[in-house]
Structure 1
Amino acid sequence: MSADLRLVLFDMDGTLVDSQGAITGAMAEAFAQVGHIAPSRDAILSIVGLSLDLAIEQLTPDMDAATRDAVVEAYKSSYMVSRQAAGRSHSPLYPGTSDMLATLNAVPEYLLGVATGKSQRGLDAVIAAHELTCFVTRQSADHHPSKPHPSMIHTAMAETGVAREHTVMIGDTSYDIDMGRAAGVTTIAVPWGYHPVDQLNADYIIDNFAQLAPLLHQIWKA
């Protein structure tokens, strides 16, 4: 492993992109298709970050397996159709995201990556829509156990050759921060996402993306 390289991993939904309208809309349509009322907005946003199957299971503990599977497939279909229709406005970047990624990507020893509960298809679509070409490692729900299992981070570190002490995980939910802790990396929480930031127990909290580059310098200056 390289002693010089640093790995900066980001969650996607609720951290880099504001997808709450897209997610709650697709959930409402999916539940309607099976004749059920969707859970509340807060309930839906509370499971963002989990793999879709597990998220639906947590939202519908009393639903039979066949109906639950139908909700999963209806959600996938609704989300894809709305994404194709809306383009980049479907899940807009949070303020300061583009500038922050450009700033970090310009640092030679920094490698940027994503660890997300999205499917690979969904992740690729967001990256293409916003031209996020800076990510050298892209971990999605299709290839790993659901967060907070540390598999995504372990794989990202293996792909880049970066040690855990030189890796950070940045996210907005307990699933992101717990995943980072399970992997033994430094965790950074953002407050604009889907879980209350004061309940995440992250190592650090930033108020906006302008604070991220100085914080990383502070973390790794030794």
Structure 2
Amino acid sequence: MHSRPDILLLFDIDGTLLDTRGAGAGALLDATEEVLGLAREKIPPLDLAGATDGAVVRKLFADASQPLEPSRVEAFQKYYLARLEERLHHDEFPGRLLNGVTTLLTRLVDETHFSLGLLTGNWRAGARLKLERFGIHGHFVDGGFGDDGEQRNDLGPVAVRRMETATGRSFAPHQVIVIGDTPKDIACAHAMGARCLAVATGVFAHASLLPFAAWQVLESLEDTETLLQVLAA
């Protein structure tokens, strides 16, 4: 009997695994007011879908006419993370895991040919806070994060290298599947020759994702059995 080939699954976080219901955006606005001195009502709308934290912060510094100095970015990040943690653990926090995620992750970790990693624009510390809030951080080995670059397409190769080191496995591009909810996730997969399973659980509807030529486009991650068959194909 032939063993199944190793498959690396790289998950986006926001809009794919969970919905913080604005906790992340709120913390960014908090930090912009406190650290950069730009009043909340004067901050232009944030376009966070598929964005990296670094790119968002660069724009916020520009909006506030502030130089992007490392010490200032560090202060911004520190305040943002503190406010994010507070918002995630507030008694009235409205966030949730998206439907099917818990069941899918539980099944995937039992399938030894799958390796689970992250490919997210979140800073590593922010990603951890969000995943730990919902008890799913331990499912993931490592990944690529917003700390690794401002352009999402640069994060994929970083994630693969880290996962190869952590697992002792090698993953050719055709063995890598990016799972995300935005056109930027799809573009990131294309940039490294990987496949993308796109899900319409974020701000983009199923029909809106189709033109970007993902390998698969699904409504959600709810149908675990079908997903396992698709991912193993």
Normalised TM-score (structure 2): 0.76
Aligned: 1:158 with 2:164 = yes
Cα gap change, 1:28/1:141 in structure 2, threshold over 3 Å: closer, same or farther? closer
CA contact (8 A) 2:61 2:68 kept: no
Paired residue secondary structure (1:8): strand
Partner of residue 216 from structure 2, selected from 204, 217, 221: 204
C-alpha spacing 1:199/1:65, structure 2 compared with 1 (3 Å)? farther
Unaligned runs of 5+ in 2: none
Distance in 2 of aligned mates of 1:95 and 1:206: 13
Which range moved further: 125-134 or 201-210? 125-134
The unaligned stretches of length 5 or more in structure 1 are none
- Give the equivalent residue in structure 1 for 2:16: 15
Q: Give the structure 2 partner of residue 113 of structure 1.
A: 117
CA distance in 1, matches of 2:48, 2:74: 14
SS of corresponding position for 2:185: helix
Note closer, same or farther for the CA distance 1:136–1:24 as it changes in structure 2 (3 Å cut).
closer
Q: 1:134 aligns with which of 125, 133, 139?
A: 139
Q: Secondary structure at the match of 2:19?
A: coil
| Cα drift, residue 62 of structure 1 | 5.6
The reply on whether 1:100 has 2:104 as its aligned counterpart is: yes
SS, match of residue 133 in structure 2: helix
CA distance in 2, matches of 1:49, 1:213: 27
* Structure 1 residue corresponding to 2:179, chosen from 160, 165, 170: 170
Q: Give the share of equivalent positions with the same residue, in percent.
A: 23
Residue 89 of structure 2 corresponds to 87
* Equivalent residue letter for 1:35: L
2:88 touches 2:133 (CA, 8 Å); kept in 1? no
Equivalent AA in structure 1 for residue 109 of structure 2: N
**Closer, same or farther in 2 for the Cα pair 1:152/1:177, shift >3 Å?**
farther
Shift of 1:184: 0.7
1:220 CA drift (Å):
3.6
Question: Does the 8 Å contact 2:120/2:146 carry over to 1?
Answer: yes
Larger CA deviation: 22-31 vs 168-177: 22-31
8 A Cα contact 1:104 1:213, kept in partner: no
For residues 72-116 of structure 1, the C-alpha deviation after alignment (integer angstroms, 9 at most, x for no partner) is: 844651442341464395753212211111122222211111111
Cα root mean square deviation, aligned: 3.1
- Read off the aligned partner of 1:148 and give its amino acid letter: N
SS at match of 1:35: coil
Contact kept, 8 Å, 1:52 with 1:117, in 2: the verdict is: yes
Query: Shift of the alpha carbon at 1:58?
Result: 4.2
Partner of 2:196: 187
1:78–1:180: structure 2 CA closer, same or farther, 3 Å change rule?
Answer: same
2:38 aligns with one of 35, 38, 41: 35
Deviation of 1:216 (Å): 4.5
CA distance in 1, matches of 2:123, 2:170: 24
